[in-house]
Structure 1
Amino acid sequence: MIVQSLFRLFARLPLSWLHRLGGWAGWITYAASPAYRRRLRQNLFNALGHDDERLLRAAIAETGRQFVEIAWVWLRPVDEVMKKVRVEGWELVEAARRDGAGLLFITPHLGCFEINAQYIATREPITVLYRPPRKSVLAPLMEQGRSRPQLRAAPADLSGVRQLVKTLRSRGAVGMLPDQVPAAGEGVWAPFFGRPAWTMTLAARLAEVKGVCTIYCWVERLPRGEGFVMRLYPPTLPLEGDLEARCATINREVERLIMLRPDQYLWGYNRYKKPRSVRAQGKPAGADAEVDAAGGVRRGDDGPAHAAGGDGGGGDR
């Protein structure tokens, strides 16, 4: 109840106040948690190859803003939220629609990632996978925040994967968060900023569904509560080769987006953790569902993964 009350209080604050509060919250979390502090510093160093104290300080504050602004995005009226959002690159969507393509939006945990699907839903229907948050107290708030017109949630299981495939084959839109660590049976090892990371395969498989146009997007957080800019980009690299190669390509595309505003990435997330029963640098034990290039679902080495709905902020941090 305390957490829910705090979220509702945060949602009432002006965005500029909330972002100032979030900056303080980021520093409090950084000071209070040695494990989080160590992971954030290590992940940032790994990406840059050197220490950058100025960027580190910015990332600490931006992570706090990223967390508290979720309340504002979830609980404010959608039209009020969208007044704070401008968009660059929507012509990619319009061109894909003229070609009759389905749309796969790939969005890393960069900036205010919660806005991506919500904005798209104001223009056309979009389907995302839904996985309840690890902190169950946030579940009703998440459900309220994501109960928007034209924003559809699919369960994070085999039926949800089938729903995503069906949506893409019918030329609909699907949203994905590709940079969460999937469970065993849902990923492959692929480089992420030069280190092996257990990487979801669902995004790569869905991108191979016939007639799909992939668009990378993220939402930049502007200073002083001025709002947000949603930016959309076409792929810069061909998605080809085996599954590991395709996942590595998506990781490189994600890296490119992150380096546009590295201070706004979720560096405190434990991106390099190894799920149980997964062999380091090897294939996982067990099997689950996979999506083939024709858009079907078959048995294999992949299963449902996180999507633009995610688990309310990136899971294990």
Structure 2
Amino acid sequence: MKTIKGMLAILALGITALLPLRWAQGLGRRLGRYFYRQGDSSRVYRTTRVNLLTCFPELSDQQQQQLIQQSLEQTGQSIAEMGMSWLWPVKRTLKVIRRVHNEALITEGIAKGKGVILIAPHLGNWEILNLYLSNRYTFTAMYKPPRQKQMDNLIKRMRARLGTDMAPANVQGVRKVMKALKRSEMVGILPDQEPDVGSGVFADFFGTPALTMSLLPQLAAQTGATVICGYAKRLDNAEGFDIYFSEAEADIALKDIVLATAAMNRSVECCVRELPAQYQWEYKRFNSRPEGAARVY
């Protein structure tokens, strides 16, 4: 069954890769509207709704529904863009990047000699961000391998087209990341998914405790690397993407892991507030709960 799912996913990627960006995004918006019309019968809708109610309780019912629909349309576009991100020729894909903001944070960090850690939330199109960075820097990206082997092979091959070194989220991957930072290179970590049991602590995210990886703050404390945030914003009317970099909170390098992970989550939250509709709200970020706390989902 996993093999069949993997083959179907690759087939879908191939089909969407044949489409111009405008058509692919239009298809993605329609997919998102389908999820929205399904309401609570759709897991994607339910999870998005609960996450937005949890993180933005100050919004009115009308504002909540508007953001839910916008988020699902953006999620659909992220799915439909994967063919473009992975299968288009590299030069063609890079042409969809329009402007890059605050890239000096990277070059200044590398010049300090202790490497750069990129916090890359699931915001906008992170595959475009990866491609841009690997085209300009020696870049190591940590990732969690998917269950389907065909998809894992495709991910490693496509993300490594410009030399990105892929580091799996295990002991061997951590060693690879440490070596890259010692060489004053850049590493990228997506920090906003639940870690394995024993690999994280609870820290507030939009005011709600979320099981949060401790690896990134530990790397920052051990290496003294510069920590920045980055994301690729999807522009309206299929105009492409703008890439943004910003400084992470300094407390992310504290040895107190509770304070450090809280600073990391605030750094992610700051990015998400700039672009709330383009965040991956369909993921169950608050699935694990502190002892005695009520379930969110």
Partner of 1:43: 51
- Contact (CA 8 Å) 1:196, 1:281: kept in 2 or not? no
The alignment yields a C-alpha RMSD, in angstroms, of: 2.0
Is 1:18 aligned to 2:29, yes or no? Answer: no
2:132 partner letter: Y
Helix, strand or coil for the counterpart of 2:274? Answer: coil
Residue number among 63, 76, 80 corresponding to 2:92 in the alignment? 80
Q: Deviations over 1:228-266 (max 9, x none)?
A: 111000124533361011101100110110000100001
Partner of 2:169: 156
- Contact (CA 8 Å) 1:62, 1:263: kept in 2 or not? yes
Please give the alpha-carbon distance, in whole angstroms, between the structure 2 residues aligned to 1:174 and 1:139.
Answer: 20
Please give the alpha-carbon distance, in whole angstroms, between the structure 2 residues aligned to 1:83 and 1:109.
Answer: 22
Which shows bigger deviation, 258-267 or 209-218?
Answer: 209-218
The change in CA–CA distance for 1:140 and 1:31 in structure 2 (over 3 A counts) is farther
Residue number among 217, 225, 229 corresponding to 1:204 in the alignment? 217
- Contact (CA 8 Å) 1:102, 1:171: kept in 2 or not? yes
Please give the alpha-carbon distance, in whole angstroms, between the structure 2 residues aligned to 1:281 and 1:101.
Answer: 41
Residue number among 134, 142, 147 corresponding to 2:155 in the alignment? 142
Partner of 1:280: 291
Which shows bigger deviation, 255-264 or 28-37?
Answer: 28-37
- Contact (CA 8 Å) 2:249, 2:264: kept in 1 or not? no
Helix, strand or coil for the counterpart of 1:97? Answer: helix
Helix, strand or coil for the counterpart of 1:238? Answer: helix
Is 1:9 aligned to 2:1, yes or no? Answer: no
Is 1:55 aligned to 2:67, yes or no? Answer: yes
Partner of 1:68: 80
Please give the alpha-carbon distance, in whole angstroms, between the structure 1 residues aligned to 2:143 and 2:67.
Answer: 32
Which shows bigger deviation, 189-198 or 124-133?
Answer: 124-133
Please give the alpha-carbon distance, in whole angstroms, between the structure 2 residues aligned to 1:103 and 1:35.
Answer: 37
Show the 5 A alignment for 1:74-153.
74-85=86-97, 86-153=99-166
Is 1:180 aligned to 2:186, yes or no? Answer: no
Please give the alpha-carbon distance, in whole angstroms, between the structure 1 residues aligned to 2:125 and 2:138.
Answer: 20
Helix, strand or coil for the counterpart of 1:27? Answer: helix
Partner of 1:255: 269
- Contact (CA 8 Å) 2:36, 2:69: kept in 1 or not? no
Provide structure 2 residue ranges, at least 5 long, that are not aligned to the other structure. Answer: 1-6
Provide structure 1 residue ranges, at least 5 long, that are not aligned to the other structure. Answer: 283-316
Deviation at 1:135, TM superposition (A): 4.3
2:280 partner letter: L
Please give the alpha-carbon distance, in whole angstroms, between the structure 1 residues aligned to 2:181 and 2:56.
Answer: 36
Deviation at 1:14, TM superposition (A): 0.5
- Contact (CA 8 Å) 1:103, 1:171: kept in 2 or not? yes
Percent identity over paired residues = 34
1:43 partner letter: N
2:151 partner letter: L
The change in CA–CA distance for 1:137 and 1:159 in structure 2 (over 3 A counts) is closer
2:42 partner letter: P
Please give the alpha-carbon distance, in whole angstroms, between the structure 2 residues aligned to 1:236 and 1:243.
Answer: 14
Partner of 1:303: none
Deviation at 1:281, TM superposition (A): 7.3
1:81 partner letter: T
* Higher-helix-fraction structure: 2
1:71 partner letter: G
2:155 partner letter: M
Please give the alpha-carbon distance, in whole angstroms, between the structure 1 residues aligned to 2:179 and 2:154.
Answer: 28
Deviation at 1:19, TM superposition (A): 0.4
Partner of 2:183: 170
Deviation at 1:139, TM superposition (A): 2.8
Which shows bigger deviation, 13-22 or 3-12?
Answer: 3-12
Please give the alpha-carbon distance, in whole angstroms, between the structure 2 residues aligned to 1:46 and 1:279.
Answer: 16
1:280 partner letter: E
